[in-house]
Amino acid sequence: MVQNNMFFLLFFAGVILIIDYMLPNKKRVPFLSIVSFLFYFICDKTMLLLLFGIILVSFMLGLFIEKSKSKRLQKIYFTMGIIACVCIWCIFKYFDFFILNFINLIGVVKAENVKQPISLLLPLGISYYILKVISYLTDILKKKIKAEENFFNYALYVSFFPQIICGPIERPQVMLEQFRQGLIYKKEVFFMGCAKITEGVFKKTVIANRLSGYVNIIFDTPDAYPSLALWMAGFFFTIQLYCDFSGYSDIAIGICDMFGVQCSPNFMNPLLSKSIKEFWRRWHISLSTWLRDYIYIPLGGNKKGKWRHGINTLTTFIVSGIWHGTGLTYIIWGLYNGILNLISSGIGRKEKNIQYNKKNFFKTSINFILVMFGFVFFRSADFHLACRFFMKMFCSFELNMNAIVNSILPFTMDYNCASYFLTVIFMIIILYVREYRVYYGYTKEYEKKLWPAVFLILTLFLGFFGEDSFLYANF
């Protein structure tokens, strides 16, 4: 699908970049806002009117909130906007889920026998741009920002095409201020953007795409493979999801850099974290901080006692699970991470030692395994399949030559599986070395040019270009 195609995004960005460079500074924001609507029309033309309507109505509500002298009116306008956003999102994301479960509940006919009477296609990027709109209206009500009076500025903030597919979810004060001042191109920022794009394409094509086939086979039919294969699938899915999503974030942020739009980082080497709390400070940062600022803190944060802090934390993580998808597995994934976060808060202190040593390596390894267990629920089609997956992992583990061969075989289903497996492992090690040096602050100046060159060469020779869709575009 074109809306989820990495190469279409890069091609589109390249063409628009050439035109944009020829325009005067004052015309760049209006041009990019119109172009973003064009991009959305090409990708999801049936939902363009929905996007435009949400932008127009929220733009007007923002002005009404700011200019109303009555606090009561301000809250009414704000409430209208938030309810509308949440309802629209729930209708598109959960309509089928609720209908099928309602049919199953009343017992007239089994849900599996229903051919989904009404199947609502999820509009491209709705889970991301709805959060942008909510944060915009909330910040105006709290007087953190002023309502944007330039429609093009606001439209570009909500619909900027590199971010519309799956984020990052940038804050209004960060982007709107840049648009008001005008987009200025800097040579060094442009090349930084190119380097980020190169790393993102490497993560996506060389690692994530190569792992997807193996992960899909094992998770779809866990009973057909030895328990070692299930452990490997859990490990590889964690790597795949990270490389897929952080790869897209690198590409999106890199494109933004090339257009002169500075964005906050969305991932900061999360798989090297030494605790769950640190992991969530480094994983999908734009969503984690959004949930913190607009869910956790308004609920009271950690300021109202331990019990309230625990409830607020669990609520925030459950909301995160619901945001990611329908089904019990996503709620369990959110609850699981919330419980681990509370345990981490109770027994741990903020890490001060960022030097590599055996103790930190052990903490990182344990934390990775805990994160991986959560992602087993995240990836499983349903709760029962996840339970079967865990039962097979722990109850029938064996390590022998037959188990090893049968665990590697699903990579290609022929004698090439060993070389394919070793190639993937080698690429993961290369990425690990890169992230390890960044995480522990060992990076030298020359590496800023070396790593992009390494990633480019490896992508050209080892890139797997058969699967271009991004996992997080489905959330």
- CA distance linking residue 277 with residue 300, whole number of Å: 18
Q: What does pTM read for this prediction?
A: 0.91
Q: Which tokens go with 251? A: 């590409």
Residue 5 has pLDDT above 80, yes or no: no
Of the listed ranges 248-252, 344-348, 425-429, 470-474, the least confidently predicted one is: 470-474
Residue 403 pLDDT? 84
CB 154 within 8 A of CB 55: yes
Residue 267 has pLDDT above 90, yes or no: yes
**What band does 165 get if pLDDT is binned at 50, 70 and 90?**
confident
For residues 417-426, average pLDDT: 88
Burial (CB count <10 Å: 0-12, 13-18, 19+), residue 396:
exposed
Residue 118 has pLDDT above 50, yes or no: no
CB 379 within 8 A of CB 215: yes
Nearest CA among 151, 269, 222 for reference residue 387: 222
Residue 355 has pLDDT above 80, yes or no: no
For residues 149-161, average pLDDT: 96
Residue 103 pLDDT? 58
Query: Which of 284, 309, 324, 384 is flagged as catalytic?
Result: 324
What does 128-184 look like in DSSP terms, one character per residue? HHHHHHHHHHHHHHTTSSPPP--HHHHHHHHH-HHHHTT-----HHHHHHHHHH---
- Of the segments 92-101, 281-290, 406-415, which one has the largest average pLDDT value? 281-290
Residue 458 has pLDDT above 80, yes or no: yes
Does the annotation count 284 as an active-site position?
no
Domain boundaries, given as residue ranges, for the chain: 2-183, 189-274+351-468
Residue 366 has pLDDT above 80, yes or no: yes
Residue 357 pLDDT? 61
Residue 356 pLDDT? 54
Residue 399 pLDDT? 84
How high is the mean pLDDT of the chain?
88
